[in-house]
Amino acid sequence: MFNSTVLYKQLPIFANHLNSGMPEILSELYSNILDTSWLEVVAVIFGILSVWFARKENIWVYPTGIVNVLIYVYLCFFAGLYADMAINAFYFVMSVFGWYNWTRRVDNTHHVPISSLNMKQWLFYVLLIMVAFGVIYYVLSNYTDSTVPVFDSFTTSLFIAGMWLMAIKKIENWLLWILGDVLVIPMFAMKGLAFTSVQYIVFLILAIMGYIEWRKRLKLKAVL
């Protein structure tokens, strides 16, 4: 049976352990930020700009995103994040496609609109993520020296689906970005890319805001 007295006694102990470890965590984060290369800083700036433009449904999401992903192909290779390196190469291809698709007109006056997935489409993308995870995990586990194959494979699978859904303007892309961002924040910090970890905290905030804003636009379109 649950004992609230035991929990009450344990809370101060847990708090003391957390507080004693915080200076070390913050010190390591500060040290990693100081060691951040100028190239990573440039990538972070363009990455944040790209997500900001995506939130606003602005075509500049793709030019800024292309700069970001090309830099991260280079950075992830040397960090040993091979799946993330591959996903950024995929982002480049998808950015080119998304750039084309967002500027394409569905009629004489309208571009591709924001829309949502139906249940059948949801099931398809869940299956796609599961298959992608299995394939990527197998490759990372057997053919690379990746130290985080599970996290790397799962977040990569989420971002593959998320990038495609963004290119075709499905609002659910934001839900996949949110979940993926939550998972990669500690992963990048652990790999010494602290500034990138901070970037994904910003991405997480912007993704939540993006979902809210796209949802409002989708409801407004339904009313009209």
Q: Give per-residue pLDDT as tens, 155-185.
A: 889 989 999 999 999 999 999 999 999 998 8
> 213 near 56, Cβ under 8 Å?
yes
> 163 near 90, Cβ under 8 Å?
yes
Report the C-alpha gap between 21 and 110 in whole angstroms.
55
Q: What is the pLDDT of residue 15?
A: 47
CB atoms within 10 A of CB 32: 19
51-84: pLDDT as tens digits: 899 988 899 999 999 999 999 888 888 877 776 7
Q: What is the pLDDT of residue 184?
A: 87
Q: Which amino acid is at 19?
A: N
State if pTM tops 0.95. Answer: no
Q: Tokens for 161? A: 């689906």
Report the C-alpha gap between 205 and 224 in whole angstroms.
29
- The CA distances from residue 200 to 32, 104, 122, 177, 207, in Å, are 15, 30, 25, 10, 10
Among 91, 186, 176, 180, which Cα is nearest to 148's?
186
Q: Tokens for 220? A: 């407004």
- The CA distances from residue 183 to 64, 111, 141, 199, in Å, are 23, 33, 19, 13
Q: Tokens for 51? A: 């997500």
Report the C-alpha gap between 191 and 79 in whole angstroms.
7
Report the C-alpha gap between 198 and 121 in whole angstroms.
33
Q: What is the pLDDT of residue 111?
A: 76
Q: Which residues of the chain have pLDDT under 70?
A: 1-36, 83, 106-110, 195, 222-224
Beta bridge partners of 170: 115
> 68 near 220, Cβ under 8 Å?
no
Alpha helices in the chain (DSSP H): 4-34, 38-55, 61-79, 82-103, 119-143, 149-167, 173-190, 194-223
Q: What is the pLDDT of residue 171?
A: 94
Q: What is the pLDDT of residue 211?
A: 95
> 187 near 153, Cβ under 8 Å?
no
